[in-house]
Amino acid sequence: MIHALDHQLHHAVLDTFEATFGKRPSQEQIQIQTTRTEFEGDRTVVVFPLAGMAGAPPQVAADRLGKALVETFDWIVKYGVVKGFLNLTLSDESWSTAIQDALTDSWGFAPKNSKSQVMVEYSSPNTNKPLHLGHLRNNFLGYSVAKILEAAGHEVVKVQIINDRGIHICKSMVAWQKFGQGETPASTGEKGDKLVGRYYVAFDKAFKSEIAEGVARGLEAKEAENASPIMQEARSMLQRWEDNDAEVVDLWKTMNGWVYDGFNATYSDMGVSFDKLYYESDTYLLGKKHVESGLAQGLFFRKDDGSIWVDLTEDGLDEKLLLRGDRTAVYMTQDIGTAILRFQEHPKLDRQVYTVGNEQEYHFKVLFLILKKLGFVQADQNHHLSYGMVELPEGKMKSREGTVVDADDLLLEMRTKAREISEELGKVDDFSEKDKVALARQVGHGALKYFLLKVAAAKSMMFDPQSSIDFFGNTAPFIQFNVVRCKSILKSAKVNVSELHWSAQTPLDDAERTLAAGVLSFPSVVQEAADAYDPSVIANHCYDLIKAFSSFYQDHPIVKETDHNTRNMRLALCATVSITVSNGMSLLGIDMPDRM
């Protein structure tokens, strides 16, 4: 979506360039950006792509184009050239008029489903443990990217692949059989995912004990691992599962059912959802079929132990296992099947985005290359949205050792902290209990989501719950508080925002122009975030805009302003800031309270 002022400027540049240089550029060749803060101006035209058509060096072409624009349009009042960048200063009247565009609830969003269909995968957990802090970053990132792509006009399909089979699942199953004494979520009152996760940890404890015993008997560590009775049981169970053994499959369905109930409760608490679920237990068979086909075509090779591999050394990678010697599948097997199945099921699909941590970057390079070798026509229409790990002060989390920050516990902790702070500040004294609970969720969950999303996805980060919920600085509570302030101002003014009118000649000072520029650049910010799959672009724009409003509020009377035109213009700025920031934060999955 391009607001009216930028649309007007875009066509002014097109027409003026043609009149000046005798050639008309394409729409795509005209690149207009918000001027960087260290330079004077409101909008910048990138002239480098136009220099060849102008038949002049970029700086010369920019100077001639700027001079012609100022002479032709009275609402373009000044220009400056920095190398091949043409910085334009627009009139107060143009800004004042453009603010009207943003007085709509859908401000910043492109028409629904006006662009291609995109699939976004996120979460994709193993069914042998509960969700943890790393899953929170994954889910919030994937869900936010999906929302941003929707806001940019794409038709989005939100999916996850549930890793519901494999040796890791069998480990929990074996441990439950050996140590569980028949306990269930119903008999213990424990969430199903947490119960199954306990047995994954119990397996690892027993496995390490058996390794230590083997080493004590004189075995090498690797020999002790291979000789471990409990590991042999897990491997045997995996083989029995792939052979469709009724007893094993029944236990597998039962324990996975416990986990799904637990996952669904956590997803609901997170505020994320999916349009379709894929299961590894379904897609790995299709993957095995394509691996066998690739072997028959000579694309893959079989080793002496019967395992099937692909040799990618000529592509700068290495050999990759695709099927074990006992015919059981690996992750790559099911990922091949899943990728192909999704494009078969969604013929309009333009691309799919995998939200997976950066430790899997090599995996996805291999996957996409294998798809290409198999002749899969959509091989290049896959993107790995790689993100850094969330670390703790005490080090990396380890699921099998039980040293993780549980997602449910962290969400509860954030709600509790939010309520404690609100009560200490006396902000909820007149709230009902229901409203206190709702506000604690909005503030606590908002603080967590914003903290995890304001950092560019590629960066690893240290999680600090205390600083995330601070009411000052680059935090969600600071943003939420100032949006509530905007709403309070508008309520006290008793105005219908859609009916606000003022003279187009109403002058704007620097602070007002800054707010207007922040509001009016929001549509391009949404597009930038969609192009980069980067919610931090939205998060930091919201913070910069609300910080500018907070500063503006300190020395600009709004409701008490005596000049009618100035008052209405400032009320409109207040309303558009509230709308813009609320819309931006909604793309991060964060709700704005009505009061706090």
Burial letters 407-433, b for 16+ CB under 10 A, else e: bbebbebbbebbbebbeeeebbeebee
pLDDT at 402: 46
| Residue labelled with tokens 């059912």 | 257
Model confidence pLDDT, tens digit, residues 278-294: 999 999 999 999 999 99
Q: Tell me the average pLDDT across 550-557.
A: 95
- Strands of 301-302's sheet in order across: 301-302, 308-311, 319-323
Q: Are 116 and 394 in contact (CB under 8 A)?
A: no
The superfamily CATH assigns to domain 407-586 is: Isoleucyl-tRNA Synthetase; Domain 1 (1.10.730.10)
Q: Are 300 and 322 in contact (CB under 8 A)?
A: yes
pLDDT band, residue 6 (cuts 50/70/90): confident
Are the C-beta atoms of 331 and 268 separated by less than 8 Å?
no
Average pLDDT of span 464-489: 91
Q: Does domain 122-401 have CATH number 3.40.50.410?
A: no
Domain positions in the chain are 4-90, 122-401, 407-586
C-alpha 372 chain-centroid distance: 27
For residue 398, the model assigns a pLDDT of 47
- Supply the pLDDT for residue 15: 96
> In whole angstroms, how far apart are CA 61 and each of 34, 44, 49, 172?
20, 14, 11, 68
pLDDT single digits (tens) 243-255: 999 999 999 999 9
**Sign (positive/negative) of CA torsion 206, 210, 212, 213?**
positive
pLDDT, greater one: 500 or 79:
79
Q: What is the reported pLDDT for 394?
A: 58
CATH of domain 4-90: 3.30.1360.70
Higher per-residue pLDDT: 405 or 75:
75
Q: What pLDDT does residue 379 have?
A: 96
Could you give the CA distance from residue 442 to residue 37 in angstroms, rounded to a whole number?
33
Q: What pLDDT is recorded for position 94?
A: 87
**What value does the mean pLDDT take over residues 331-344?**
95
Per-residue model confidence (pLDDT) at position 329: 86
Of 92-96, 368-372, 380-384, 463-467, give the lowest mean pLDDT range.
463-467
Residue 403 has pLDDT above 70, yes or no: no
Helix (H) or strand (E) holding 462: strand 461-462
Mapped onto helix, strand or coil, the DSSP state of residue 503 is: coil
Please give the pLDDT value at position 393.
66
pLDDT (tens digit, 9 = 90+) per residue, 191-235?
999 999 999 999 999 999 999 999 999 999 999 999 999 999 999
Q: Cβ distance 130 to 262 under 8 Å?
A: yes
CB atoms under 10 Å from CB of 375, counted, come to 11
Range 412-425 average pLDDT: 92
Q: Nearest 5 degrees, angle CA 182-CA 126-CA 393?
A: 105
In angstroms, the CA 294 to CA 311 distance is 12
| Calpha distance 251→228 (Å, rounded) | 23
Secondary structure of residue 43 in the 3-state scheme = strand
**91-95, 354-358, 430-434, 439-443: segment of lowest average pLDDT:** 91-95
| Secondary structure, 3-state, 339-401 | HHHHHHHCCCEEEEEEEEEHHHHHHHHHHHHHHHHCCCCCCCCEEEEEECCEEECCECCEHHH
- State the Cα–Cα distance between residues 151 and 111, nearest whole angstrom: 8
Quick one: pLDDT at residue 80? 96
* Cα 521 → chain centroid: 21
What's the chain's average pLDDT? 93
State mean pLDDT over 474-494: 95
Using only the alpha carbons of the chain, give its radius of gyration: 29
